Amino acid sequence: MDKEATSKKELMNVRISLVFLSVILLAKATFGGENPTFSFLRNDYGARAAALAGSFVSMTNDPNVIFYNPSALSTVERQQISVGFFKHLLDINSGHASYAQEIPGFGFVGAGIVYINYGEFTRTDETGNKLGTFSANELALSLGYADSPAPQVHYGANVKFIYSGIAEAASTAVAVDLGVLYAFPEQRITAGASLLNLGTQLDPYFSTRENLPLDLKVGATIEPEHLPLLLNVNFHGLNESQTSLIGHFRSFSLGGEFLVSDALRLRFGYDNDRRRDLKLGTSSGLAGFSFGGGVLVDMYTVDYAYTSYGKIGALHRISLAFSF
């Protein structure tokens, strides 16, 4: 290979690396967290969970619990499927699919896949001539198992394969999610905890392996007596180092789901981390707040969520679920 060809190849690698770094910075700014690799795993999936600002670790009877607390798979009442899509900021597209069912005599099983595409980028040489396009995308595939040794006790785990790619470069990882759920029927409270993304990179982008976005979550769902309301509170990132004890509890989210009727649900949520991170100047606007609803018709459920990013913009999600 002559010097000119070598120079072109080196320049091309530099261009790809710059785009790669841009994608990393975008993911970090959009999804939060200190870990640049696989930061998309921190995103909310499913319009119902997004409308509740991700306060979903103690929710039940929903296939999307596989992304938040695998132990809650054992609360599904029938076979359920959920699919969803949303268009993110800067033309980023993302979606999910999840499934859960009981296998008599064995337990409960589930599967979930999340996908994000950052769009296409133009590949050029050193003089600006276009040489085509390349894309950047990430996905995670989860397989889960859960069981309930007693009516109020649930436990579960996922195994997860994770992929991230940009142009010809790629990175893969494996991880497990662990979860527990406990119900207090007399107090009308369900409490849950999960440890997500406990694993390692198999193939790093570069020579150094990076940490996965490990996340310890705890939360509770309260059903006030005489009120058609599910009230959630979640704390996340409890495994991350903080300068003080109180600092561990600043990363929290709140959510509420009103059962307006048998066919209609209204939801709201608040994410304290998101509001702090998206504060611009002296104002945060509606950053951190989310709203949505769901309509149930026979075996079908259509959910919608609006998530505010303040002055940056907002996200709209739609999910479709059905049980059989």
Least confident range of 75-89, 118-132, 243-257:
118-132
The radius of gyration computed from the CA coordinates of the chain, to the nearest angstrom, equals 21
pLDDT in the model for residue 281 = 66
Mean pLDDT to the nearest integer, 2-6 = 51
248 pLDDT tier (thresholds 50, 70, 90)? confident
**pLDDT for residue 9 is more than 70:** no
User: What is the number of domains present in the chain?
Assistant: 1
- In 65-129 the beta strands, taken as DSSP E runs, fall at 80-87, 93-103, 107-124
Question: Residue 36: what pLDDT?
Answer: 54
Q: How far apart are CA 112 and CA 180, in angstroms?
A: 18
Q: Whole-prediction pTM value?
A: 0.85
Residue 287 C-alpha from the chain's centroid: 18
Residue 55: C-alpha distances to residues 49, 87, 193, 217, 285 (Å): 7, 21, 12, 10, 21
pLDDT at position 244: 75
The confidence band for 15, taking pLDDT boundaries of 50, 70 and 90, is very low
Kind and range of the H or E element at 166? strand 153-166
Instruction: Tell me the CATH number at 117.
Output: 2.40.160.60
pLDDT one-digit tens code per residue, 198-232:
999 999 887 788 889 999 999 999 999 989 999 99
Q: Of the segments 5-14, 133-142, 251-260, which one has the largest average pLDDT value?
A: 251-260
User: By C-alpha distance, which of 176, 186, 152 is closest to 60?
Assistant: 152
Distance CA 209, CA 200 (A): 8
DSSP SS3 for 72: helix
Tell which wins on pLDDT, 118 or 52. 52
What pLDDT is attached to residue 18? 42
**Distance between CA atoms of residues 289 and 275, nearest Å:** 8
The domain of 106 spans: 3-323
Residue 284 tokens read as 């945060």
pLDDT at 206: 78
Please write the tens of the pLDDT for every residue from 68-121.
Answer: 999 999 999 999 999 999 887 777 889 999 999 999 999 999 999 999 998 887
- Return the structure tokens found at 227: 């009120």
Q: 282 pLDDT band (50/70/90 cuts)?
A: low
Asked if 101 and 119 count as a contact pair (C-beta separation under 8 A), the reply is: no
Give the tokens for residue 66: 């596989």
The confidence score (pLDDT) of residue 121 equals 79
Q: How many other C-beta atoms are found inside a 10 Å radius of the C-beta of residue 207?
A: 5
**Average pLDDT score, the chain:** 87
CA 20 to chain centre: 21
The residue-averaged pLDDT of 12-35 equals 43
pLDDT for res 29: 40
CA distance 118 to 23: 8
Nearest to 192 by CA among 216, 223, 176: 216
Nearest to 185 by CA among 210, 150, 138: 150
> Considering the chain, what percentage of its residues have pLDDT values greater than 90?
64
Tokens describing residue 287: 């950053």
Other Cβ atoms closer than 10 A to 6:
10
pLDDT value of residue 259: 96
pLDDT in the model for residue 268: 98
- Residue 11 pLDDT more than 50? no
Amino acid residing at 58: S
